[in-house]
Amino acid sequence: MNLGFNMFFTIVTIQISIIFVMKAAGQSTTEACNSCCTSGIPGIPGQHGNPGASGPQGMNGVKGDQGMKGEQGLIGEHGLKGEQGPQGLIGIPGANGVKGDKGEQASQQKSAFSVAFTSDPGRHAVSPMKYDTIITNVGNDYNLDTGKFVCAIPGVYVFQVSTTKSSGGARVATHIMKNGSFQVSTYVSATGFNSASTMVVLDLVSGDQVWTQPYDAYYNYYYSSINRYCSFSGFLLYAA
């Protein structure tokens, strides 16, 4: 390793000596030197220079021709259509059924009445009011002799009473009674002729009795005429 280094150092020293000799000799041209001197030992390579600037971009090349389009392949043949399956036969319509018998309409039970005074009853006793005229009596459930409605068809009934007070009387109050128990009442107290009415819905069973009567002996100054200012009505709303 030391031997190689010494040889390298000796060579470099010789080269430097030759350079100084050549300068001292004063030779003017390289040709003169070359004619009398032998070739020297190559010098040590210098360091690499800096990279040069980029050159200009080259021009785009000519676009090549488009290749030829391939031929389209042949379309395959359609397959054979299958045969249609057999269609079922439509059955013959059946005959119309026999028309049924007409159903019987349920018979509706009926009960209704309207009664009135066609003459002036005046002061009436505290008892069932016996109206003198029957306007309607469907089912004959109102008894003209007793002045009472007697239920024959159990169900819900509507009852209504209208009364008129005489001009000279003080007042009139009339109850609708059921089996002797007060249900509702009318009342009027004023000068001259005046009227009052009321209505009630009652649930009755067979044998129940309904009627009208004065409140007491002092509230019974009634007035009526052929115009029937005092009346009593009732009807079956629906059977139970």
The SS3 of residue 15 is helix
Does 32 or 239 have the greater pLDDT score?
Answer: 239
- Using CA atoms, how far residue 54 sits from 51, 58, 62, 205, in Å, is 9, 11, 23, 126
pTM attached to this predicted model: 0.55
- Using CA atoms, how far residue 200 sits from 146, 182, 229, 235, in Å, is 21, 11, 19, 11
Phi, psi of 183 (to 5 degrees): -115, -65
Q: Are 240 and 155 in contact (CB under 8 A)?
A: yes
Cα 215–chain centre separation:
59
* Length of the chain as a residue count: 240
Q: What is the mean pLDDT of residues 174-199?
A: 92
Q: What is the mean pLDDT of residues 202-212?
A: 98
The residue type at 221: Y
Task: Tell me the sheet residues that pair with 188.
Answer: 172
Neighbouring C-alpha atoms within 13 Å toward the C-beta of 160: 11
* 112-239 CATH fold: Jelly Rolls (2.60.120)
Domain residue ranges in the chain = 112-239
Cα 133–chain centre separation:
60
Taking only the tens place, the pLDDT of each residue in 7-25 is 656 665 666 665 555 555 4
Q: What is the mean pLDDT of residues 90-116?
A: 78
Token pair belonging to 195:
């009227």
Taking only the tens place, the pLDDT of each residue in 213-234 is 999 988 888 899 999 999 999 9
